[in-house]
Amino acid sequence: MLRTTGGQIAKRAILLFTVWLVLTAADPDALPLGLIAVAAATWLSHALRPDGATPVRPLRAFALVPGFLWQSFLGGLDVARRAFDPAMPLAPGWFVIPARLPEGGPRVMLGGEFSLLPGTLVAGTRGDSFLVHVLDRNRDVVQDFEAGEAALRRAIDEARP
């Protein structure tokens, strides 16, 4: 695991202070509270994501947003169609999908992203696999999941196959 340096902590603090300045329109009256908030946020950010954690490539991560929004839109249409169809065509089921991302943050991020898509819920893990519940087991959920995993792997600059 990488050791934290003062420079790494300072970079986080500067980033968080910049966010605080934007959010408060650099109001000088808020400076004392802002300094306390930045110090607490810096400490918390290090506690939740140590410097040795899997690196995220911000531009690559941002590139995931359009695809996620499109999949959410299509999934929402599909769920609405099923809800308003008098026959309610549901084929619920479970999938056990192997996880190829490293444990911790990357897997949590993938599970959270996939759970936000309508008709899909990552209900937990079993060993190195995700337990995924779906409204339509006839859909190619494994392919969708693997595509999302590959995109996330590129965003975190993970070199695993």
Verdict on whether the full-model pTM lies above 0.85: no
Q: Judge contact between 130 and 122, C-beta under 8 A.
A: yes
Distance CA 114, CA 117 (A): 5
Q: Which two tokens stand for residue 31?
A: 């400076």
pLDDT tens, per residue, the chain with 161 residues: 445 567 778 888 898 899 889 888 888 898 899 899 999 998 888 777 666 665 666 677 777 788 888 888 888 888 888 888 888 788 899 999 998 888 877 888 888 888 888 788 999 888 899 999 998 888 888 888 888 888 888 877 644 44
pLDDT of residue 161: 42
Domain ranges of the chain: 6-48, 58-155
Q: Judge contact between 99 and 107, C-beta under 8 A.
A: yes
pLDDT of residue 40: 93
- Find the angle CA(72)-CA(78)-CA(83) to the nearest 5 degrees: 120
pLDDT of residue 95: 94
Closest CA to 56 of 132, 154, 143: 154
